[in-house]
Structure 1
Amino acid sequence: MAASGSHVQVKLFTKQSQYSVPDAPFSVPDNVGPKELNSLVNSLLKESTTYISSLIEFDFLINGEFLKVPLQQRIQEKNIPAETVIEIEYIERNPAPQPEDSLIHNDWVSCLEGSLQYILSGCYDNTIHLWTTKGESLTIIPGHSAPVKCVSWIDLTEENPVGQFVSGSHDQTLLLWQWHRDTNEVDCICVCRGHAASVDCVSVDKTGKRFCSGSWDSLLKLWSTDSDSTCVIPENEERPLKKKKTDAPKIPSRVPLLTLSGHTEGVSSVSWLDDSTLCSASWDHTIKLWDMEQAQVKSSIQGSKVFLDLSFSPLNQLIVTGSADRHVRLWDHRTSEGAIVKCSFTSHRGWVSGVAWSPSNSNTFISGSYDMIVKLWDVRSPKAPLYNLTGHDDKILAVDWSVPDLLLSGGADNHLKIFQHKEFTG
């Protein structure tokens, strides 16, 4: 154990070349913390010719983990020998997310997803809302006969004037929609029928040609987005030989391409890992990975409590989950030996209802909880979140981070909250 008032040798380095300092070792008191190290780096930068006049806030990492305590404590925790030159990486600190807008609905906001400059949200009043990221309401879409539980963009590009999205509902159906951006008109082009209970989650694959739904009936179903896909006349309905001009056109129904059974309770979340692998989470305490070419489970991960949501990051190939035991967990589905839980993040005081990875940073994700708080996490800081985002007055039901600079959350207070967040990924 280092004696009080003793010094240690540290070597400071960064991958952000604009903030580089001399790489010679420095002798510093062993009780310094992030605040003192921040002052040291800024003083060194001030002496350089490339120094930017404003004070820069930095975070510090030792062996890939943020330093949040005095250096002496970390030395003791990790049993670092006194003669070691401790290498400390520093990175520019991400600023706190700023409240941008609060979009009011008539009932609980149960699901949401952003894309480009637009946001979809589903509501317990049976409607879907379409917004701009600036908070402008574009349209409110009726169609379901029960609360909307999931929404997802299928095809939305700057070049194509027609966007496509899907919604799932407690009414046991999924609706396929087309949005004509020029006229702001929305058409329901197909009803997907086959589930026997509430459709609680949906995920579209990267090609935009297929999507998978999960339901309280414990089943997963695969569907086609192709407008030429086989459709059927709704059950107990006959197509008239002649349709009167006053008759509203019947919306064709679609049957699933495939049904997957394996869960024993409701499916709460589903996500494509690649073109042939699907991941699902369930109230039966399991996460399952599916081989979609063979239409079977290829592995199953046993948890201890109900899984309420999962999010997969293509940047790091890791899965993060939220559970009813208030914990957020990080999983490596590729691990065949030993513990596949890489880390647990414990800070919420209620069920963790939503999780979402950053689309541009492999280290950061958000979680939302029944405790009314959204937390911004970094995998290099497992003991405490980077920031707590407040503002909701009731439990949070869903979070989304599809648009890089926007953190979205929806809750039982009838609000969709938008937080602006600028990430430094260098």
Structure 2
Amino acid sequence: MVDIQNDPHFQVKFLAKDLKDCSLPEGYISIPSSATARNLNDLINSAAEQAIDDWKQVSFDFLIGGILFRGNLADFVVDNNIPQESVIEIECIFRQPPPEPDQDIPHEDWVSGVKVTTDRIFSITYGGELSAFSHDGKTLGTNDLVSQPLKCLDVFTLDGDCCVVVGCQDQTLTLSRVEQSGKKVNFVPLQNFRGHERSVECVAAKKDGTRIVSGGFDSLLKVWTTESNTRTEFSKSNTESGKRRKTDIATKTPMVTLQSHRDAIVDVEWHPLQPKQVVTASMDFNIIAWDLELAGFVTRLHAARAFTSISMNPENGLIISGSTDNKVRLWDLNSQEGSLVKETYHGHNGWVTDVHWSPKNTNQFVSGGLDQTVKMWDIRSPKAPLYDITGHRERVLTVDWSFQGLIASGSADSTLKTFKTQ
């Protein structure tokens, strides 16, 4: 660490709540105000090397007052209103390794949706294709469902089977069963859902697969049932052609239609902690939490910008949102004090098109934007992302982090890219 003689110093104390087998400097230490996270890393590793014979260099991040330390101490203290005469407690945590580029999977058209499961990657395109790939990028199956753009998808389990539901610009949704056939998969359409008056923009299946909710440019939220005692069989000619005509399968109308938004519903999610509630985001600047049992909304959050996407934290229900500006925002539906916007994250250079929480780490999420980048974030670092994930040559349309080991993104450059995470 470089120590400038005239550089003001701060008294600090290092803490390690979750670190094992790491020896930290003891007591209070005087640190120059110009110190950066890299300087603190050198200090911690040096202390550990002296105390532990077989110590290997480790990269750390540092929390001060629950905020990830970036820049230098002097600026950080000023920006976060930390009393300069106080002892600054610095918590050491292991740094999240950067995502590593993995697969680059070309498509025939813009990739509008992607979902990663434990053993497969599913994608949809503006050309109407639904596809499945292995994690190592091998094509497992493709079905040309329609001739119009597919706009949204969800993957879930129904009666022990893997199923995919997709929403289309032609105002319909299609539910298909994923059937394994050797090393390949086939998509077998089971049900159509009709009732939207304009393009279907978002869809989400309940955890048990019995209900599906969807929203679209008609500003309507619709609830559908997947339960059925009969399934219509395909004729032999239709099956062999690889084209599934929607007239060959049962068509359903919605159980319930809910209206309160005044513009397109662009995203919908089941509330992870309230199984009877869903949450929608709209171009009308509103997020609404709905109670499906009461058939009405329970909470409305109003913003200054139109929404493009939301994601709900599976552990605590916090919401991150993308909007028609360059910021990601953190919301708390249950907040009783102050602003419902708990934090704003800066880093994109255009609209934020999609967001997704980490499935395991309640502090981390990813976002994609019109600036052609995917970004990994920590909610404790609002001024800069952890990492910029680059590679797309056109705007990013969709991101997914449903499976802890892979981040996936789809773009208007007609590629699906995956990145390995730890």
> TM over 0.5: same fold?
yes
In the alignment, residue 286 of structure 1 is paired with which amino acid? Answer: N
In the alignment, residue 275 of structure 2 is paired with which amino acid? Answer: D
| Superposed counterparts of 1:10-409, under 5 Å | 10-14=12-16, 15-49=18-52, 51-53=54-56, 55-155=57-157, 162-183=161-182, 184-228=185-229, 250-273=248-271, 274-409=274-409
Rounded Cα–Cα distance in structure 1 between residues aligned with 2:158 and 2:115: 12
Give the match's secondary structure for 2:269: strand
Give the match's secondary structure for 1:339: coil
CA 1:280–1:50 in 2, change beyond 3 Å: closer, same or farther? farther
Rounded Cα–Cα distance in structure 2 between residues aligned with 1:215 and 1:343: 28
Structure 2, unmatched stretches of 5+, are: 240-246
| Superposed counterparts of 1:408-423, under 5 Å | 408-422=408-422
The alignment-based identity, stated in percent, is 37
Give the match's secondary structure for 1:201: strand
CA 1:77–1:247 in 2, change beyond 3 Å: closer, same or farther? closer
CA 1:21–1:217 in 2, change beyond 3 Å: closer, same or farther? same
Alpha-carbon deviations, 1:319-362, whole Å to 9, x = none?
Answer: 00111122211111111342110111122111111101100101
Give the match's secondary structure for 1:73: helix
Rounded Cα–Cα distance in structure 2 between residues aligned with 1:91 and 1:345: 21
Rounded Cα–Cα distance in structure 2 between residues aligned with 1:190 and 1:86: 60
Alpha-carbon deviations, 1:154-212, whole Å to 9, x = none?
Answer: 2189xx5x411111111111111111124422210111111111111001122222111
Rounded Cα–Cα distance in structure 2 between residues aligned with 1:345 and 1:313: 16
Rounded Cα–Cα distance in structure 1 between residues aligned with 2:237 and 2:39: 76
Give the match's secondary structure for 1:181: strand
Q: Give the structure 1 partner of residue 244 of structure 2.
A: none
Does the CA-based 8 Å contact 1:18-1:50 persist in structure 2?
Answer: no
Q: What's the CA shift for 1:24?
A: 2.0
Q: What's the CA shift for 1:245?
A: 7.6
Q: What's the CA shift for 1:16?
A: 1.5
Rounded Cα–Cα distance in structure 2 between residues aligned with 1:401 and 1:18: 31
In the alignment, residue 96 of structure 2 is paired with which amino acid? Answer: N
Give the match's secondary structure for 2:367: strand
Q: What's the CA shift for 1:83?
A: 3.8
Rounded Cα–Cα distance in structure 1 between residues aligned with 2:212 and 2:369: 27
Does the CA-based 8 Å contact 1:115-1:156 persist in structure 2?
Answer: no
When structure 1 is superposed on structure 2, of 195-204 and 24-33 the one drifting more is 24-33
Q: What's the CA shift for 1:31?
A: 2.4
Q: Give the structure 2 partner of residue 236 of structure 1.
A: none
In the alignment, residue 80 of structure 1 is paired with which amino acid? Answer: I
Rounded Cα–Cα distance in structure 2 between residues aligned with 1:85 and 1:51: 32
Alpha-carbon deviations, 1:98-121, whole Å to 9, x = none?
Answer: 110111110100011111111111
| Count of equivalent residues | 406
When structure 1 is superposed on structure 2, of 7-16 and 351-360 the one drifting more is 7-16
Rounded Cα–Cα distance in structure 2 between residues aligned with 1:288 and 1:244: 43
When structure 1 is superposed on structure 2, of 174-183 and 268-277 the one drifting more is 174-183
Does the CA-based 8 Å contact 1:149-1:170 persist in structure 2?
Answer: yes
Alpha-carbon deviations, 1:37-61, whole Å to 9, x = none?
Answer: 11110011112237532x1111111
Rounded Cα–Cα distance in structure 2 between residues aligned with 1:272 and 1:9: 47
Does the CA-based 8 Å contact 1:315-1:361 persist in structure 2?
Answer: no
Rounded Cα–Cα distance in structure 1 between residues aligned with 2:229 and 2:22: 55
Rounded Cα–Cα distance in structure 2 between residues aligned with 1:75 and 1:325: 29
Rounded Cα–Cα distance in structure 1 between residues aligned with 2:339 and 2:381: 20
- TM-score, normalization: structure 2? 0.91
In the alignment, residue 303 of structure 1 is paired with which amino acid? Answer: A
CA 1:58–1:216 in 2, change beyond 3 Å: closer, same or farther? same
Q: What's the CA shift for 1:67?
A: 1.1
Does the CA-based 8 Å contact 1:10-1:85 persist in structure 2?
Answer: yes
In the alignment, residue 355 of structure 1 is paired with which amino acid? Answer: V
CA 1:78–1:345 in 2, change beyond 3 Å: closer, same or farther? closer
Q: What's the CA shift for 1:4?
A: 4.2
Give the match's secondary structure for 2:209: coil
Does the CA-based 8 Å contact 1:305-1:323 persist in structure 2?
Answer: yes
Does the CA-based 8 Å contact 1:358-1:404 persist in structure 2?
Answer: yes
Does the CA-based 8 Å contact 1:368-1:398 persist in structure 2?
Answer: yes
In the alignment, residue 387 of structure 1 is paired with which amino acid? Answer: Y
Give the match's secondary structure for 1:39: helix
Does the CA-based 8 Å contact 2:25-2:44 persist in structure 1?
Answer: no
Does the CA-based 8 Å contact 1:45-1:51 persist in structure 2?
Answer: no
In the alignment, residue 45 of structure 1 is paired with which amino acid? Answer: A
Rounded Cα–Cα distance in structure 1 between residues aligned with 2:324 and 2:339: 21
Q: What's the CA shift for 1:254?
A: 1.2
Q: What's the CA shift for 1:223?
A: 1.2
Give the match's secondary structure for 1:171: coil
RMSD of aligned residue pairs (Cα, Å): 2.2
